[in-house]
Amino acid sequence: MSRLFRIAIDGPAASGKSTTAKLLAKKLGFGYIDSGAMYRAVTLKCLDQGVPITDTQKVQDIAHHAKIRFPSLGTVELDGKDVSTAIRTSRIVQNISPIASNPGVRATLANQQRSLAHANDPAWSGFKHKNTEKIRGVVMDGRDIGTVILPDAELKVFIVAEPHVRAQRRYDELKEKNSLAQGETVEAIAQDLEARDEADRTRKVSPLKKAKDAIELDTSHKTIDEQVSAIEKLVYDRL
């Protein structure tokens, strides 16, 4: 006997949700779906094909035909090509907002995300609860998972962090991956994040907001391991 347990993790950019979600999924034996990576992949495809990101219909067509997969933990495939690193550059961050707020794109990707979350994939090993019941599930992170994509998720967490902490985290991430633009600074990244936050909060379709039944987790002064442990405890409490 097995039970499906879905974890929705939302929050602003660079709050630590993606890293936490990946490690949590690995620890629990759950699947991991990075919803933000799907919007990044569509952005990348538009830029590579020279499609104007403000051309609503053409961008929707790109999203409709884009084949996005997560073949392994932390790996993102676009049309059969590994784009895990390519979608994490500043070029994507600076162009993603019009695509993320495109109603047609959101509808297309939302349907894909829900299907993935309900798949109960046999590859998700899960874990045994009280030595009897098998718990299998998925961790999905983004900005509207708990409010729009999985409003009935078994656990919803809204991750926040102080602005300067988030900017430093993104800077360190880009530096580690050699993806920093020439002359890019923490201050410049902070401005990009602020603009992204404003766009996410004020967009008409699926804006960034905390679900009423979500548990808020401030990660400003927590290590990644502490973040993972905090959510893992919430999972066991719910079970």
Find the largest Cα–Cα distance for the chain.
56
Res 49: pLDDT: 97
Domains, the chain, with CATH or none: 2-238 (3.40.50.300)
Task: Enter the tokens of residue 17.
Answer: 């949700």
At 164-195, the pLDDT tens digits run: 999 999 999 888 888 888 889 999 999 999 99
Helical spans, DSSP H, in the chain: 17-28, 35-48, 56-65, 90-93, 97-100, 103-117, 163-176, 186-202, 224-238
**Which residues on adjacent β-strands are paired with residue 140?**
8, 33
Res 123: pLDDT: 75
Q: Are strands 81-82 and 127-129 parallel, antiparallel or unpaired?
A: unpaired
At 126-141, the pLDDT tens digits run: 999 988 889 999 999 9
At 68-126, the pLDDT tens digits run: 989 888 899 999 999 999 998 889 988 998 998 899 999 999 999 999 898 767 778 89
At 20-77, the pLDDT tens digits run: 999 999 999 999 999 999 999 999 999 999 999 999 999 999 999 999 989 888 899 9
At 4-20, the pLDDT tens digits run: 999 999 999 889 898 99
